[in-house]
Structure 1
Amino acid sequence: MATTTTAPLTESAGEVFAQLARLNRATRPQLAAACALSKPTVSSAMAELESAGLVARDGTAHGSTGRSAAVYRLAADAGYVLAVDRGHTQVSFRAIALDGTVLDEGQSTRLDRAWSMLAAARRRRTADGPLRRAVVAVSDVVLPDPAADPETARRVADAVESLRLPGQVPVAVENNVNCAAIAELHDGDGSGEGPGGRDTFVYLQVGVGIGAGIVIGRRLLRGRNGAAGEVARLAYPWADGREPGHEALEARIGSPGLMLQVSGAWRADDGPLPADPEAVFALAAEGHPRAAALVARHAAEVGKLAVSLTAVLDPGLVILGGGVGRNPLLTAGVAETLARLGWPTKLEVSRLGEHATVLGAAHLAREHGINAVVTGA
């Protein structure tokens, strides 16, 4: 595995390189149109990129007039990037070329196994040029100023260090729910700008913990402290005679809170106590009265959280994700509560599944990698 820094590209070569990375394959006329540059400027830029070993010819395209044009793609020396989801229960990764081609991927519930897979993936990438950047998604707030909360900063640093990535690889860190929101922006159903697109939405993750990724005008909202969307910190409960607790809302709506409610409500004639949320939802789907009632109550609680988000942000679209949030049995109750108490809001269930976070991290890693080539960083 190699890492490298190179001389920065000229402005026009940088534009052409970034556009070719997005298009995957293109001719010079196509690049000229995409970059709004003249053909001579693109020709000069391509000469610079070819000389640096960053682009390579990849066949010929024939037009309707009979003329042919060389097709270009990124060369191996353009390099690749690494995206890692350092979750609570498993580690997932993807190695991606700068044009978006997936080169390698894997996941494991064991950290030592994840170490082996990451090391093996790096060894296999020796023919794919330098590793430009890595992005690690963590289940914590990523602080712009670590000194503002040393304990949180330490947890984030420990999560990254636990992966044993090579010290010479520049690493960027992002919150896992924010990464999932970025994946929904780029890969979710109906992605794209304009009516019906996902230019403004809230991704609401409900699983072991709760969190929201907020996208406004196709831009991720991180907030002053990097904590935008940390809905676990909402004051809860907000009621006479009851004192709000630290992250009490997450303790109520997260999976551990759901299981506490189940264990408290379960009766001997209900059968064996379900071991986890999946078992509760499975029983509810089969028509088990107690399980169905608990799931309905939980859906209403999640719906109240969605209502609170729409009252502040009015996003027009809420996407449910996470191990619990994606369950279809949750949707009806959330939708009913949202329709009854909130502004008109479309509700969808994420179809990206457990891969949403690593997909979003891959998008960020590509952006960082392309910028590293353009700037020579």
Structure 2
Amino acid sequence: MGVGTVSLSASAQAVFIALSARAKATRPQLAVDCGLSKPTVSAAVSELEGIELIERNGAAHGTIGRTAAVYRLGPAAGYVLAVDHGSTQVSFRAVALDGRLLDEAHTGTPSEARAMVRAALRRRRRSGPLRAVVVAVSDVVTPAGRVGDPAVDERVRAAVDGLGLPAAAPVLTENNVNCAAIAELREGAAGSRDTFVYLQVGVGIGAGIVVNGRLVRGENGAAGELARLAYPWADDRPAGHEALEARLGSPGLLRRVRARWSTADGPLPRDAAALFALAERGHSTAAGLVREHSLEVGKLAASLSAVLDPGLVVLGGGVGANPLLTPGVVETLAGLSWPTEVVVSRLGDRATVLGAARLAREQGVRRAVVAL
């Protein structure tokens, strides 16, 4: 029987979704997860086995000698693809709907992304249908039905088109910082917290906002676009377009470094990582510049806390993830805001692609049960 010629029962859909979340389970476990009777689950399992959406994968032995068949997703369940399309590199993860990693790679040259992704798709020909693709981009993603900035929307389209995905592939785009926030919620530093802000500080700045376990995207898809905050806040200086990002992004930091560096300080740090490395080794000028920058980022965190009161700020990004940035952020928050915990992301530069993979799995499971 062809997969595209049937319609799954509601109970089979529920069992498939539950098994996708568990990776492996017995029928009694699925009955508990779905709130269904054992006979109903048995019928659903038979239905799913018949079209190879699930398959047996060994047996579990009980304490009184009984055994129960263990099930996992089958070859017809398919897989999803997550792509982090950054400005300087592109990475991807291909995962099964139950989260098993099938393939991953990255390239430091976005121009090579198309060949990398196409090669990955060829390797996955025996992995079943491609259920969903999520592409994380560094731009605002305009929600369906809203009118966005034409230039931004065109950049997003160009990023997706440049990957050479199959014409029929169901593709979604999401902001990269939002993806990182989702990863922190599900498998990162947020732990059991369901309300927090993921604050990314690197070449640019941005925030992923999670409230009650849900990502806040905003009416225009622009929630967390901190670059648009009015800055500077001074009576005699007009606020500039994305002036705050120009100040707190690593290019702005390096401009201040060049202005303050003297020949007595030795060779000029070539990038933010080199500056932080010098500060860690006790270089006084570097340490002073890093401290000033961390206090500035702390003001931004305090502003977010004043509006959202998240209770937790997760620092990420090329600069934000450096532990030397944390003390100044904590100090500023303590002086300007109410208690707010500050932690550094444990996921590092993988956060975006991990979050995109989470979104892709959610979409893929949903499409698998409704597309049949």
Q: Which TM bucket (shorter chain)? A: over 0.9
For the 8 Å contact 1:7–1:376, the answer to whether it is kept is no
Counterpart Cα distance in 1 of 2:35 and 2:334? 45
- 1:78 aligned counterpart, secondary structure: coil
- 1:81 aligned counterpart, secondary structure: strand
CA RMSD of aligned residues (A): 1.3
Aligned to 2:169: 169
Counterpart Cα distance in 2 of 1:5 and 1:91? 33
Counterpart Cα distance in 1 of 2:207 and 2:136? 14
Aligned residue identity for 1:40: P
Aligned to 2:10: 11
Aligned to 2:184: 184
Counterpart Cα distance in 2 of 1:329 and 1:60? 50
**Residue 117 in structure 1 maps to residue 116 in structure 2:** yes
345, 353, 356: which is aligned to 1:358?
A: 353
What is the CA distance between 1:113 and its match in structure 2?
Answer: 3.0
Counterpart Cα distance in 2 of 1:376 and 1:135? 18
Aligned to 1:250: 245
Counterpart Cα distance in 2 of 1:284 and 1:331? 14
Aligned to 1:194: none
Tell me: CA distance 1:5–1:238, structure 2 relative to 1, closer, same or farther (3 Å). farther
Counterpart Cα distance in 2 of 1:139 and 1:8? 38
Counterpart Cα distance in 2 of 1:178 and 1:248? 22
For the 8 Å contact 1:79–1:132, the answer to whether it is kept is yes
What is the CA distance between 1:320 and its match in structure 2?
Answer: 0.1
Aligned residue identity for 2:343: E
Matches within 5 A, 1:297-316: 297-316=292-311
For the 8 Å contact 1:8–1:373, the answer to whether it is kept is no
**Residue 62 in structure 1 maps to residue 57 in structure 2:** no
Counterpart Cα distance in 2 of 1:180 and 1:62? 39
For the 8 Å contact 2:141–2:222, the answer to whether it is kept is yes
Give the share of equivalent positions with the same residue, in percent. 63
What is the CA distance between 1:5 and its match in structure 2?
Answer: 5.6
For the 8 Å contact 2:133–2:360, the answer to whether it is kept is yes
What is the CA distance between 1:8 and its match in structure 2?
Answer: 4.3
Aligned to 1:47: 46
Counterpart Cα distance in 1 of 2:47 and 2:26? 16
- 1:140 aligned counterpart, secondary structure: coil
Counterpart Cα distance in 2 of 1:154 and 1:94? 25
What is the CA distance between 1:117 and its match in structure 2?
Answer: 2.1
For the 8 Å contact 1:253–1:298, the answer to whether it is kept is yes
Query: 1:53-107: per-residue Cα shift (whole Å, max 9, x none)?
Result: 1000111112122221111100011000000000011000000000100000000
Counterpart Cα distance in 2 of 1:222 and 1:10? 33
Counterpart Cα distance in 2 of 1:94 and 1:6? 30
Aligned to 1:294: 289
Tell me: CA distance 1:5–1:257, structure 2 relative to 1, closer, same or farther (3 Å). farther
Matches within 5 A, 1:68-217: 68-144=67-143, 145=145, 147-189=147-189, 191=191, 197-217=192-212
- 1:343 aligned counterpart, secondary structure: coil
Query: 1:142-172: per-residue Cα shift (whole Å, max 9, x none)?
Result: 0014533212111111111121212111100
**Residue 343 in structure 1 maps to residue 343 in structure 2:** no
- 2:173 aligned counterpart, secondary structure: strand
- Unaligned runs of 5+ residues in structure 2 are none
- 1:147 aligned counterpart, secondary structure: coil
The alignment's TM-score, normalised by the length of structure 1, stands at: 0.95
Aligned to 1:277: 272
What is the CA distance between 1:214 and its match in structure 2?
Answer: 0.4
Counterpart Cα distance in 2 of 1:10 and 1:207? 48
Tell me: CA distance 1:5–1:268, structure 2 relative to 1, closer, same or farther (3 Å). farther
Aligned to 1:374: 369
Counterpart Cα distance in 2 of 1:6 and 1:322? 46
What is the CA distance between 1:190 and its match in structure 2?
Answer: 5.4
Counterpart Cα distance in 1 of 2:109 and 2:4? 33
What is the CA distance between 1:299 and its match in structure 2?
Answer: 0.3
For the 8 Å contact 2:179–2:351, the answer to whether it is kept is yes
Aligned residue identity for 1:160: V
What is the CA distance between 1:120 and its match in structure 2?
Answer: 1.7
Counterpart Cα distance in 1 of 2:371 and 2:65? 39
**Residue 239 in structure 1 maps to residue 208 in structure 2:** no
Tell me: CA distance 1:324–1:190, structure 2 relative to 1, closer, same or farther (3 Å). closer
Counterpart Cα distance in 2 of 1:272 and 1:62? 65
What is the CA distance between 1:6 and its match in structure 2?
Answer: 6.2
Tell me: CA distance 1:212–1:5, structure 2 relative to 1, closer, same or farther (3 Å). farther
